[in-house]
Structures are given as structure tokens and as C-alpha cells.
Amino acid sequence: MIVIGDRINGSLENVRRAIGSRDAGAIARLAAKQAEAGAAYMDINAGMFGEREAEQLEWLAACAQSGAPLPLSLDSPHPAALRRALAANRNGKPIVNSITGEKKRFDGVLPLVREYGASVIALCMDGASAPRDAGGRVEAAERILEKLVGAGVALADIYIDPLIMPIAAGARHAEAALETVRGIRLLHPDIRITCGLSNISHGLPARRLVNRVFLAAAMAAGLDSAIMDPLDGELMASACAAEAMLGRGAGREALEAFVGRYGGGGSE
């Protein structure tokens, strides 16, 4: 399971406060904690800063990398912000988060993916809105995959995002996302599939519980990566347990190591 840590996001109060006071140490410490908890990448997002997004994303990239030697997932649809953050990356192959099949966005982001040799998260959508059903999303994924591979992006560098929408806004949103994961996995057994995990629980109580349950279900459907909170011990324990049950890689070893560190319940 590829964990992309989601805690360096300007929408979070502690990160927003650190950005406002230019507290590089706070961002570095948050990066270090995510690395220690098992993150393989750090997702950084400064979208809430509007016209200052590019400046803030570049600053976050520098601060995060001073705290942990992890590659970055650069969370922005805007080429100008992505370029500045990509230029600041120094810890291995970054991930561009994200691209769609919509022409303007595709044409703006693709050259950066190619120039910097980055991996890329491709959303299952061609236009301004996402297909509501799994069939439409799988078809959109096929079209964007064809365009990316045709443009020279290696299949191993593409992560497909099935689009997780809050179940608080629609009772079938989880079902649609899981069906999309299954459909993509059936067509592409070896491709990476990721998601913004916490979207599923937005607007609900007991969000951490909802996230854990959905993660296990999505992994069973074929998800092998997630943008998620590595500092949530029970969530990380659930990921390790799901990998062990699914017979993936070193899932059992990871679970044993996790239990040794946190105890059988997975709580910190």
C-alpha cells in the first residue's frame, strides 16, 4: 500500500498558521512525523491561498523536504504553481496531483509531467464535472490513459483516481467509487489506483471510522494507494491488516511491526 501523507495542506489550521508565520520548522516536523509513520510520499497543498498559491506551494515543498527525504505529491491543478514546486523537488520522482482529460488542463499539466519526469494522478473525468456512475468513470479513465500513454508517459508512472465523493451528499457515492476501482483493476491489473481517502467521510460524524471501513473495502476492490493521514494509527493498522488479509507483499510483516509499535488495537 502506497501511503501519500495528506497532513501538509493549507486548509488545515495548524498548517495555515505555520504558513502565515513562516514557521518552516513546524512544516519540517510534520513531514518527519509522516515519514516515521510510514508515508512514502508527502502531498502538499496551498490551494486556499489563491493568487499566492505558487509562492506558498514552493515554500511548502522546500520546508517539507528539509524535514523528511520523501518525494512530493504536488496537489494543484495550476501549471504555474506546479512548475515552481517541481523545480523545488529534490527527493526523487514527484507525483503531479492531478490531471484530467479536459483539454485545457491536460495541455497545461502534461508538459510539466514530461519535463520533470514526474508520475501523475489522473482523475476519471474529461470535463468540469465528474461522471456520476462507475461506467462513465471507467470510460473516462480509459480515454485519459490512452492520451497519457500516447504522449509518452509510462504506465508505471500513472495513478488513476476513481473520484471519491462524500457519502453525506449521496448514499451511492461509495458504491460508485468501489465499482470504479473494480472496473479499472479488471482492465489494468498492474496500474496504480489511488484516491483522496478523507473525501468519503466529509460532513459525517465519526470520520476516522468511516475512513477506515472504506479504505479496507477499497483495497479489497483493488486500491493500492491512498492520499491519507499516516498519523492516524488505527487507519494505518487497518491498511496493514487489509494487506495481510489480501495476501499482498509484506502485509503480514507490516502488521506485525505495527502491532509491536502501537499494540493490538492500533491506537497511538
Q: Is 267 part of any domain?
A: no
Q: Is the pLDDT of residue 113 over 60?
A: yes
Residue 249 pLDDT: 64
First to last CA, the chain: 20
Residue 128 pLDDT: 72
Residue whose C-alpha is closest to residue 19's, from 39, 42, 47: 47
What value does the mean pLDDT of the chain take?
93
Q: Is 135 part of any domain?
A: yes
User: Cell 494543484 maps to which residue?
Assistant: 76
Q: What is the pLDDT of residues 176-216, one digit of tens each?
A: 999 999 999 999 999 999 999 999 999 999 999 999 999 99
Per-residue pLDDT band at 259 (split at 50, 70, 90):
low
Residue 129 pLDDT: 80
Residue 267 pLDDT: 43
Cβ proximity of 240 and 255 under 8 Å:
yes
Q: Is 268 part of any domain?
A: no
| Interacting residues of 62 by C-beta distance below 8 A, sequence separation 6+ | 24, 88
Residue whose C-alpha is closest to residue 2's, from 64, 73, 59: 73
Domain that holds residue 23: 2-262
Per-residue pLDDT band at 260 (split at 50, 70, 90):
low
What's the CA gap between 115 and 44, in Å, rounded?
20
Q: Are strands 158-161 and 119-123 parallel, antiparallel or unpaired?
A: parallel
Per-residue pLDDT band at 266 (split at 50, 70, 90):
very low
Q: Is the pLDDT of residue 146 over 80?
A: yes
Residue whose C-alpha is closest to residue 76's, from 95, 101, 102: 95
Cβ proximity of 129 and 102 under 8 Å:
no
Q: Is the pLDDT of residue 3 over 50?
A: yes
Residue 244 pLDDT: 86
Cβ proximity of 7 and 39 under 8 Å:
no
Average pLDDT for residues 150-176, to the nearest whole number? 97
Average pLDDT for residues 151-173, to the nearest whole number? 97
What CATH number should be reported for the domain holding residue 121? 3.20.20.20
Average pLDDT for residues 106-115, to the nearest whole number? 98
| Interacting residues of 187 by C-beta distance below 8 A, sequence separation 6+ | 138, 142
What's the total number of domains in the chain? 1
Using a pLDDT cut of 70, give the percent of the chain over it: 93
Residue 268 pLDDT: 40
Q: Is 20 part of any domain?
A: yes
Which residue would you say has higher pLDDT here, 4 or 267?
4
Using alpha carbons, list the distances in angstroms from residue 252 to 35, 60, 240, 243: 20, 35, 7, 7
Q: Is 23 part of any domain?
A: yes
Task: Name the pTM for this structure.
Answer: 0.94
Per-residue pLDDT band at 247 (split at 50, 70, 90):
confident
What's the CA gap between 204 and 166, in Å, rounded?
9
Sign of CA dihedral 57, 62, 68, 73: positive
The CA radius of gyration of the chain, in Å to the nearest whole number, is: 18
Q: Is 109 part of any domain?
A: yes
Q: Is 119 part of any domain?
A: yes
Average pLDDT for residues 144-162, to the nearest whole number? 97
What's the CA gap between 215 and 39, in Å, rounded?
16
Q: Is 31 part of any domain?
A: yes
